[in-house]
Chains A and B, each alone.
Chain A
């Protein structure tokens, strides 16, 4: 396993829980979830719908905050950060790949890839250079100046992956990255994710397809808000 070689923790979740309260009825979405992710790991989180796997991914991605427990991301305690501090950490540390791609229609592919870097303060020439390199790496050189809706689903997801890599994050979070794709494009996306992992990127992916999950190094099964031990 990789952690034996590098001994570097990217994520440490301790007793994370998440409760939603509405009309005085408390719903426990996550229950004392503890999880350690080492640098270079490729993890798949699986579980039935409503199991809390999306909430867990949102908490890991700092889009949502836990109601209990502590969270260390790249040896930084991120449990009690303000909204803007969370935004800064997301910007630097996390790359998101969504099921719906979430590309902005009115922008070109290149501008979509640049998007995370405009909030990070690097110079605009460097941004364009980095984004072009990423697009070339993902085989989208020809599509650079097109609008997202002129691209196939697989191509759009590759643009989204390029965007996720833009700020060289320490963690890539993929929420059902193949969920909206045909199997051929899905395989292509998985191949890219595996390549990125081989290059040292840490990836956490949600999926409900077993054959997709099997391509990860480690599978975490969640049910009723708890991590199930195999």
Chain B
């Protein structure tokens, strides 16, 4: 039989059972669609996070309390990154890197009778804007002198402005943070939100003021910024030596931006694979649907198979006929699924992260063809092996 005839045959028999073919195809459509969409989401997430980290600049290093990759996670052990240690690090390393510790506390801030909840109050040093890019739309960041003297000044984010100063100019006004009065000296530019966290609901105050205000003696992180990209490795080495001289054990972790990227990429890759894997299960279920319907079809058409054999069809003719039907079902489903997955990913990417990767489309395509072959072969072999007289006698 010619290829064209086989294809026509497969199409005509699928057409004669439109609803059934459509429902079987739907299983594959959903499978392929979810593989593409979920992989796109996973990839979008990865791209988004890596972009955010890359946006910090390649000179950045972070010192985190606790040992990452040890037996316990960073949050589990007692934070030994004290303010004294941070100061000591700064004094020893300031020739090759900018240093800013960060104390973070979530609290409610007030101005007159208005209040703004769940505000992140960050205590940083005056070099913070030089390490983590912070654009101001009004006023200025606090100076080293203000930081040293423990001046009660604040740079507020857009959400804080919106809730506390809907009509008036915030510059020079005093906001109440945990009972302390802070003068607003700057307003930062809008950053938007990231994973449900409002990045504009932030107030930055001098580190020394935050330490007293919240009676905290440990820092959440220490940010380091090497004075040139070539110095990153050296800064990491020096910072490790300096901190080790103060600690009994290496109960801290220094991550360069590259390492952070690697860590995040490895986490999000696992996430993407897990999402894709879950979606692949639905493709598998779709494949079983194809097999099921092909088995039904073989049984239903036993007589037809007997007739075709009597008229001269060889085993391979019957095998190819049924295999091609299964492949056509899964291929039509696969292509529709790809199209649908592509469209929905495009729509999703408008308001959330989604990034369609060519490999997931190619993979989904070949996977759907493979599903047709794998799940179509058993029914097709079964059909090809039917004995012509028994098949003809079948009612």
Contacts and interface: CB of A to CB of B under 8 A. Distances in A.
Interface of A: 58, 61, 63-64, 83-84, 87-88, 90-92, 96, 98, 102, 104, 106-107, 115-116, 118-120, 124, 163, 167
Contact of A106 (B16, B314, B388): B16
Contacts of A96: 310-311
B308 A115 contact: yes
A90 B306 CA distance: 13
B313 A87 contact: yes
29 contacts: A58-B389, A61-B310, A63-B388, A63-B389, A83-B314, A84-B314, A84-B316, A87-B312, A87-B313, A87-B314, A87-B315, A88-B314, A91-B311, A91-B312, A92-B312, A96-B310, A102-B303, A102-B307, A104-B307, A106-B13, A106-B16, A107-B12, A115-B311, A116-B311, A119-B308, A119-B313, A119-B314, A124-B2, A163-B311
A83 B315 contact: yes
A81 B13 CA distance: 32
Contacts of B389: 58, 63-64
Nearest to A58: B389
Contacts of A61: 310
Contacts of B19: none
Contacts of A64: 389
Interface of B: 1-2, 5, 12-13, 16, 303-304, 307-317, 388-389, 392
3 nearest A-B pairs in the assembled complex, by CB-CB distance: A91-B312, A119-B312, A106-B16
Contacts of A83: 314-315
A106 B314 CA distance: 22
A38 B314 CA distance: 28
A118 B5 CA distance: 8
Contacts of A90: 310-312
Given A58-B389, A106-B16, 12 more contacts: A63-B310, A64-B389, A83-B315, A84-B315, A91-B311, A96-B310, A98-B392, A104-B304, A106-B12, A115-B311, A119-B312, A119-B317
A98 B388 CA distance: 13
The CB with the most chain B CB atoms within 10 A, among A90, A115, A118, A163, is that of A118
B389 to A, nearest CB: 5
B16 A118 contact: no
A79 B297 CA distance: 33
B394 to A, nearest CB: 11
A126 to B, nearest CB: 13
Contacts of A104: 304, 307
A120 B311 CA distance: 10
A116 B388 contact: no
Contacts of A124: 2, 5
Contacts of B16: 106
Of B304, B308, B312, most A-chain CB atoms within 10 Å: B312
Contact of B392 (A102, A107, A120): A102
Contact of B312 (A58, A88, A98): A88
B285 to A, nearest CB: 29
Contacts of B13: 106
A107 to B, nearest CB: 8
Nearest to A114: B5
Contacts of B313: 87, 119
A70 B309 CA distance: 23
A137 B16 CA distance: 30
A104 B307 CA distance: 9
Contact of B311 (A58, A84, A106, A119): A119
Contact of B1 (A98, A118, A163): A118
Contacts of B317: 119
Contacts of B315: 83-84, 87
B134 to A, nearest CB: 72
Nearest to B309: A87
Nearest to A107: B12
Nearest to B315: A84
A211 B317 CA distance: 41
Contacts of A115: 308, 311
B382 to A, nearest CB: 15
B11 to A, nearest CB: 12
B386 to A, nearest CB: 11
Which residue, of A87, A96, A167, has the highest number of chain B Cβ atoms within 10 A? A87
Given A58-B389, A84-B315, A119 B1 contact: yes
Nearest to A175: B392
Nearest to B317: A119
A56 B130 CA distance: 98
Contacts of B5: 118, 124
A88 B311 CA distance: 9
Contact of A116 (B303, B304, B312, B314): B312
Nearest to B312: A91
A102 to B, nearest CB: 5
Nearest to A116: B311
B248 to A, nearest CB: 82
Nearest to A54: B389
Nearest to A163: B311
B19 to A, nearest CB: 15
A107 B5 CA distance: 14
Contacts of B304: 104
A84 B315 CA distance: 7
A119 B311 CA distance: 8
A119 B392 CA distance: 18
B52 to A, nearest CB: 59
> In the complex, which of the residues B13, B308, B310, B317 has the most CB atoms of chain A within 10 Å of its own CB atom?
B310
A167 B313 CA distance: 13
A166 to B, nearest CB: 9
A98 B2 CA distance: 27
